[in-house]
Structures are given as C-alpha cells and as structure tokens.
Amino acid sequence: MQKPYLIVLAGGASSRMWPLREKSLIRFGEHPLLIYRSSAIRRSGFSDVVIVGNLENTQIIQDMTSRVTGLQVQVITQPEPKGMGDALLRAGEVLPLAEHPAVYVTQVHDLTDSALHLEMLDRYRADPSRSYLAGVEREDYFPGGYLIVNADGRITGIVEKPGAENRPSNLVNIVAHIHSDATRLIDAIKTEYARAVTPDDHYERAMDRLMADHPYHVVRYSGQWTALKFPWHVLDVMNFFLGQIDGQNVHPSAFVAKTASLIGNVYIGPDVRIFPGAAVVGPAYVGAGSIVGNNALVRNSMVLNHVDVGFTTEVARSYVADNCALHACRVLDSIFAPGVNFSAGCTTANLRMDRGPVPTVVKGARVDTGLPKLGAIVGQNAFLSVDVMTMPGVKVGEGAQVGPGTHVFHDVPDRTRVYVKQDVQTVSLD
C-alpha cells in the first residue's frame, strides 16, 4: 500500500508574528524549524512531499529541502495568504488526482512527538477507507477547534472556539489530518469557494460536509504539542528543543574556564568561550562562537551563534538569536531576533504588579498571552541604549532605536526612534 502524499503547509503571511519574520525559518539550535520538520517527516517514512510556501519563503524552502536526503519534495507557492483551503488547492495542482490518492495534511509550525505521525499511518494502513484527524487531549481550555466524537470514535463535526463551558469534548483539532481521497477533498473545497462565502475557513467547512457522508475517525494524542502562532510561542518551541538536550555536550573547540559552571543538560557549541565566574544552567543551548562573559548567567535559554553575553549579564528563560550583543543587562522571558543591541543597565520587566497574565497587542487588538511572565519581543537589528527598561509584553520593531533611560510601555514600530527629553537645569552652588 502506498503511503499518503504528505502536504506541509508553510505559507501564510506570519503577520501575527511581528516583530519577528517568517516563522518556518526561525532557527532553533543549528537549523530552522522547517529543516527539523523535514527531517522528522523523513524519519516517519514519508518520501513524497508537497510543501506550500509563500512568495517570500518559497525559494529558501527549495534551497533548504534540497539538502535533506531521502525526500522527493515539490515546493508550491501560495501567492496570497488566503487560508488552508487555498493552499490545498495549490497543492492539488501537482497531485495525481485521477488516481484518488490519500493525503496527510500537516503544518510546519505544529510540533508533536514523532509517535503521532506513526500512529496516524498505522491507523490508515489498518483501514484505508477511512479518514483520520488527530485530537490532542486537553484538560485546560484552548481557543481552537474541538472535535465532536461519538462512542466509536467517529468525528461528526468541529466546533471552533466554543468557550470553556461549551466544549463538546476534550479533544482539540490539530493539523494532522489523513484524507483517504484527496480528489474528493479538493472537490469539496472547490464547492465551498463556489459558494462565495467571505471567511477563509473553506477547508474546515469542506471537512464538515465530508464528515456527513464519509467516515472520519479521531486519533487521540496525549503527547507534547507546541504550536507557533504568536511571537511568544517561540519560547514554547524553544523549550520543546531544549528538552531534547541530554547530558553535557561541549564541543572540543570550546573554552570553559575552570571557575565557570555548567549545570544540568547543556549544549556548548564550537568556539564558544565561557569566562571565569560564568554559569550556564540547563536546559540551555549556547551556539557557535558565542561568549558568556565573567559572572554572567545563562539559564533555561537558547543563545544562538556569535552572541556576546557580557559581564554580569543574566539571560533567563529567553531566546537570543545570532549576533546579538548583551552588555551588563537583564534579559528575562524574552525573544530577541538577530542583531539586537541591548546596552548596559537594560532590563526586560517580565511580571505585572498584580501578578496577572501578561497582555500584548497583536495587529491592533489586545491579546491575553496567558503567561504569568513575559518580557520583551525585539525585532532584528533594534538598538536599545543604556538603562532602557521595557515593560511586560512590549514589542520593539526591526531597526528601531530606543534612547537612553527610556521606559517603554507601548510597542515601538519598525525603524522608529523613541527617546525621552530631559529638562536639564544648571544651578550654581555659590
């Protein structure tokens, strides 16, 4: 029996990720998220893969996946971010629809244990006449789609964001879907587009219609699931990968001073220098060519390549990308894109005075992150001068500049300078 064709959705506009860029290309450790997902796909036994990208990332995806052996990859461009239905129609253009093949639909930014993909394939092999959707078991409420499931595991519908009190089950729909007949699915999506309904949930509506006449069954999943939808989710994905570090992995070319401390599960990359008095507390990752200065502390964090963690700096529960410079500062529960300068005396405040969940603004709307602690999310090549303090949940755009001594209470747009003016008075003491 031929395995289903795998369709990986890696398009969309990533507009909710501001001030970060394309989410499928964010690096975690040595590789971008896309490469990790491609390697996991290969290990699960897939060989024929269709990846749907966007205008900005298609060429990069082609270059990256060409280096992953054992995969036959076709990369398709979705010119506009018109939702999953449109992305699947694009993928359908390169599928042998005359043969009514099965397809496995997933997203690049949904991370699960490899066991889920193997279980999905096992269920399909056992009865290829059925279609299968993964349902992650959640006791707490998640603002997503919930599966309506009858006693024999058949799915009869999906309810989007029903509210905590109205959940039809504890099974959240995640994008791990095997459709037994791709031709039937594509036709159903086309029918939804022909109805000229404005929302971009054509794929979800097509599945609802198909469920009425064709058997869709749930594959229950209770393992780890991490979705990258908003910029603060980078910390969740970071923790997913930090959890895979086992033991103390120190590259032979790294220098670790005798009075420096490595505690717990840590990865120390090539040419890293860790100076006297510094501590790296796991789980932690320090990438190639980075420096952890005297008496600095890196804990529960991912520091990528060529980062300067300066004298007495603390980096805690944070993601710091390539070429950042951190000078005697405090980086707490934060996300820094490449090339950020965080000057001496700077601090990312991470806790509200009322100890409530930290809110932030996404595309003009206030969003509750649900996090008790969240620092700053800072875009590429931003420069924060000495003694800047960012309030919890604040975002600073690409290329932005924040002047010395500024307390940042609101988001700073891309390529904007924010500073305070002092009223300096000179008074004679005579």
Residues 147 and 251 in one domain: no
User: What pTM, to 2 d.p., does this model score?
Assistant: 0.91
Q: Please tell me whether residues 160 and 293 are part of one structural domain.
A: no
| Residues 298-318: tens digit of each pLDDT | 999 999 999 999 999 999 999
Q: Residue 220 class from Cβ within 10 Å (0-12 exposed, 13-18 middle, 19+ buried)?
A: middle
Among 188, 210, 229, the domain boundary falls at 229
My answer on whether 298 and 149 are in the same domain is no
Number of domains comprising the chain: 2
CATH number, position 248:
2.160.10.10
Return the CATH number at 105.
3.90.550.10
pLDDT tens-digit profile of 338-389?
999 999 999 999 999 999 999 999 989 999 999 999 999 999 999 999 999 9
Q: Are residues 313 and 168 in the same domain?
A: no
Say which residue the tokens 């409530």 belong to. 356
9-23, 181-195, 411-425: range with lowest mean pLDDT: 9-23
Residue at which a domain ends, from 206, 229, 252: 229
- For residue 301, the 8-state DSSP code is -
Model confidence pLDDT, tens digit, residues 72-112: 889 999 998 888 999 999 999 999 899 999 999 999 888 89
Flag whether 148 is in a domain.
yes
- Position 163 scores a pLDDT of 85
Residue 283 belongs to a domain: yes
Residue 423 lies in a domain: no
Q: What domain range includes position 160?
A: 5-229
Within a domain: residue 425?
no
In a domain, 240, yes or no: yes
Cβ contact 260:278 at 8 Å: yes
| Kind and range of the H or E run holding 174 | strand 171-179
Do 294 and 157 have their domain in common?
Answer: no
Tell me, yes or no, whether 140 and 42 share the same domain: yes
Query: Could you read off the pLDDT of 19-64 as tens digits, one per residue?
Result: 999 888 999 999 999 888 888 887 888 888 999 999 888 898 888 8
Q: Domain check: are 71 and 195 in the same one?
A: yes
The rounded distance, in Å, linking the Cα atoms of 162 and 155 is: 16
Q: What is the mean pLDDT of the chain?
A: 93
Dump pLDDT digits (tens) for 104-154: 999 988 889 888 999 999 999 999 999 999 999 988 888 788 999 999 999
* Best CA proximity match to 298, nearest among 325, 323, 320: 320
Q: Between 113 and 326, where is the model more confident? A: 326
* Mean pLDDT, residues 388-413 taken together: 98
Residue 217 lies in a domain: yes
85 and 196, same domain (yes or no): yes
Predicted confidence (pLDDT) per residue in 187-239, tens digit: 999 998 888 666 678 898 899 999 999 999 999 999 988 889 899 999 999 99
306: left (phi over 0), alpha (psi -120 to 50) or beta: left
Name the burial class of residue 129, with classes exposed (0-12), middle (13-18) and buried (19+) by CB atoms within 10 angstroms of its CB.
exposed
The reply to whether 199 and 72 lie within a common domain is yes
Last residue of a domain, one of 229, 247, 264: 229
Per-residue pLDDT reduced to its tens digit, 238-277: 999 999 999 999 999 999 999 999 999 999 999 999 999 9
Q: How far apart are CA 357 and CA 365, in angstroms?
A: 16
- pLDDT value for 152: 92
The verdict on 280 and 360 lying in the same domain is: yes
For 329-341, what is the mean pLDDT? 99
Pairing of strands 395-396, 103-107: unpaired
Residue 133 lies inside a defined structural domain of this protein: yes
240 and 225 in a common domain: no
Is 209 within a domain? yes
Helix (H) / strand (E) containing 390: strand 389-390
Q: Are residues 222 and 263 in the same domain?
A: no
Tokens (6 digits) for 265: 């599960």
